[in-house]
Homo-oligomer: A and B are copies of this chain.
């Protein structure tokens, strides 16, 4: 593991590039990629790699085919016109696919948790909670579905200025399937379909950091970061928006691991956080949440960071797929 005395390996913009790695429209690298557009209700909602097409064609060999496949697009057949039938069809296909995790390594991380695929037209006869369908969380990258989560900065004030702050940083458990042992924000969690951001933030505060609800409810939503990740083998994309919360804690509140996701917590100065980011010790999207915090708290400035303008733009990639206008909350009964 890198030590604090090691020289920085990355610029802050390098780290943003690791998180937001899918090429932009003007980038010639786009021509080397091979994705079809996943369309629902005539609206693009994701990207499916061409290597999946034979598997979709194979699944289509039934009395009523599920997908309409062209050279550029994959859409549902017209008979799959509502939330239930679309979600069922995808679930059936993924049940087949997960038996063959050599072909679909992403499905090794099966979560048994649904993510909503939102649409512009919230018609209660065909949608549920604004979603045109829901899909197993671990399959979102295969379809390039826009995923949502919350990240929460726990921080302690050390002086009168907004930049006089220290942050609680978590180290991820070494047994986590993704980014084991890397640094993370105090609390983070995916937005399971039917949960609101606020509910998710308060629930994860308890589960991951043993912060009780009466404290967690002081967390304030302060914006979002958004980015699109391209997998290393260029076959999966993951557009994501993280709703960011700041939770000011008094010095006597010490977060403690509750479930098995976090190894430990440390309270760090902004310089310590920046150093660890530049040594590549953070999970990249968590580093981006820290950069967003440093921008909002005046720690990074237009004068002290050469990539300031690029970093701020890139932390807010516009993702063109529709999002929810109202977060569904039907799963929030405790």
Chain A residues packing against B (C-beta within 8 Å): 24-26, 161-163, 196-198, 218, 220-224, 226, 241, 243, 246, 295-298, 301-303, 306-307, 309-310, 312-320, 323-327
Contact = CB atoms under 8 A, between A and B. Distances in A.
B303 A223 contact: no
A325 B306 contact: yes
Sort A-B residue pairs by CB-CB distance and give the 3 closest, nearest first. Answer: A316-B316, A220-B298, A306-B325
Contact of A302 (B312, B313, B327): B327
B301 A323 contact: no
Given A24-B318, A161-B220, A310 B323 contact: yes
B221 A302 contact: yes
B296 A198 contact: no
Instruction: Report copies per complex.
Output: 2
Contacts of A223: 295-296, 312
A302 B196 contact: yes
A271 B198 CA distance: 22
A28 to B, nearest CB: 13
A209 to B, nearest CB: 20
Contacts of A243: 302
Nearest to A219: B298
A323 to B, nearest CB: 4
Contacts of A221: 295, 298, 301-302
A326 B324 CA distance: 39
Contacts of A312: 223-224, 226, 316
Contacts of A26: 320
A24 B320 CA distance: 10
Given A303-B327, A316-B318, 6 more contacts: A25-B25, A161-B220, A162-B246, A196-B302, A309-B324, A318-B318
Nearest to A199: B303
B319 A313 contact: yes
A318 B320 contact: no
Main secondary structure of the interface of A (DSSP, over half): loop
A222 B306 contact: no
Nearest to A316: B316
B302 A222 contact: no
A309 B241 contact: yes
Nearest to A198: B303
Contacts of A315: 316
A234 B162 CA distance: 42
A197 B302 contact: yes
A218 B301 CA distance: 13
A303 B150 CA distance: 13
A301 B246 CA distance: 13
Nearest to A300: B221
7 contacts: A162-B246, A196-B303, A198-B301, A221-B295, A222-B297, A309-B323, A313-B319
A164 to B, nearest CB: 11
Contacts of A298: 220-222
Given A162-B220, A220-B163, A318-B317, A325 B296 contact: no
Contacts of A224: 309, 312-313
Nearest to A223: B295
A130 to B, nearest CB: 10
